């Protein structure tokens, strides 16, 4: 098991880990349904699918498989609606903003590695006033998580050895990427995790039930450091 002591750098997944983006993704999904004359879906139904990306939301909304001839047009409509509301109701999870402020004050690096395209990730992060030392998005490199390269690239940008980084995420692919990168894989249970997913089976080193408990651990470790 890799060390769980305070890392030199802290890297976060974005959706469902650092920021609760589900409200705005749900709104875009329901606007797609309304465009097709369908009733809005309950928020919780959409929330369970948001970590799987735009194509999964189109399938949920319209029951169109990814190879359906109308899928691509529907996905583009969804993304256009999402761009309109990208930061309307999305918020940093409770406790993490204060923890990051303390982290920055301690001159420790932090960043975000996400499979979200930069077109949506960058304005979202800016709207919420976050200033990560590195932001790696889906379209920045030829590969995405669970490939470890986006995490390794972020560590290089921060000038920190990968083995001295935590990567925090709410999906199996996050933990697989962290494990392959040689980072401490930190899983959070508060994210967008399907009911039938066994998070305890993920290749993680640490688990946190709430963003508050994660923030408390970071703050306590900083105080002791």
Has 198 been annotated as catalytic? no
The sign of the torsion formed by the CA atoms of 188, 189, 192, 196 equals positive
**Beta carbons within 8 Å of 72's beta carbon, 6+ residues apart:** none
In angstroms, rounded to a whole number, what is the distance separating the alpha carbons of residues 23 and 77?
17
Q: Write down the catalytic residue from 13, 20, 24, 170.
A: 13
By three-state DSSP, how is residue 49 classified?
coil
Asked whether the beta carbons of 29 and 46 are under 8 A apart, the reply is yes
Has 147 been annotated as catalytic? no
Q: Is the peptide bond before 118 cis (omega within 30 degrees of 0)?
A: no
Question: Which tokens sit at 112?
Answer: 């975000």
Asked whether the beta carbons of 209 and 193 are under 8 A apart, the reply is no
Residues classed as catalytic: 13, 15
């Amino acid at each position: 098991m890799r060390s769980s002591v305070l890392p030199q750098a802290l890297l976060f997944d974005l959706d469902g880990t650092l920021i609760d983006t589900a409200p705005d993704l749900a709104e875009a999904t329901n606007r797609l349904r309304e465009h097709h004359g369908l009733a809005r879906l309950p928020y919780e139904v959409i929330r369970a699918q948001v970590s799987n990306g735009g194509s999964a939301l189109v399938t949920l909304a319209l029951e169109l498989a990814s190879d359906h001839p109308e899928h691509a047009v529907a996905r583009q409509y969804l993304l256009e609606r999402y761009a309109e509301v990208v930061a309307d109701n999305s918020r940093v999870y409770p406790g993490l903003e204060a923890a990051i402020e303390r982290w920055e004050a301690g001159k420790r690096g932090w960043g975000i590695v996400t499979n979200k395209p930069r077109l949506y990730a960058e304005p979202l992060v800016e709207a919420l006033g976050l200033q990560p030392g590195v932001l790696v998005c889906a379209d920045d490199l030829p590969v995405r998580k669970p490939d470890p390269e986006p995490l390794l690239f972020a560590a290089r940008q921060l000038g920190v050895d990968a083995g001295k980084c935590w990567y925090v995420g709410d999906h199996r692919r996050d933990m697989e990427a962290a494990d392959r990168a040689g980072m401490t894989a930190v899983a959070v249970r508060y994210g967008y995790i399907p009911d039938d997913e066994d998070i305890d089976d993920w290749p993680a080193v640490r688990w946190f039930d709430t963003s508050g408990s994660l923030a408390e651990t970071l703050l306590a470790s900083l105080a002791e450091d």
